[in-house]
Amino acid sequence: MQVEVRLFAGLQRYLPENSSKNSCRMETNQGDSVKDVLEKLNVPSKKLRGLMILANGTHANLDYVLNEGDVLSVFPVIAGG
């Protein structure tokens, strides 16, 4: 099945080379979670903590199971003061 993955800020470097600015279409297996997809993109496990994750514009978590055509958007933690 295919999903669209959008990675923002410092996470963009984990997208495949043929990706557009911040997104790619990706083949995933039925039952794959957000965590599975991020691991396939080689996002280091230490970067998986504290992410803001949206699936189809709705807040999700690493355990969210993706469906055909889902749009996954992932933002890193942004610190400020």
Q: Is residue 7 part of a domain?
A: yes
The domain that holds 28 is classified in CATH as 3.10.20.30
80 occurs within a structural domain:
no
Taking the model in full, what pTM does it have? 0.91
pLDDT tens track for 37-53: 999 999 998 888 889 99
Please check the confidence at residue 81 and state whether its pLDDT lies above 70: no
Are 55 and 33 in contact by the 8 Å Cβ rule? The answer is no
Q: Identify whether 62 is part of a domain.
A: yes
Per the structure, the complete domain to which residue 6 belongs is given by: 2-75
Sheet-wide strand order for 71-75: 23-27, 2-7, 71-75, 52-55, 58-60
DSSP label of 59? E
Q: How many domains does the chain have?
A: 1
Residue 81 lies in a domain: no
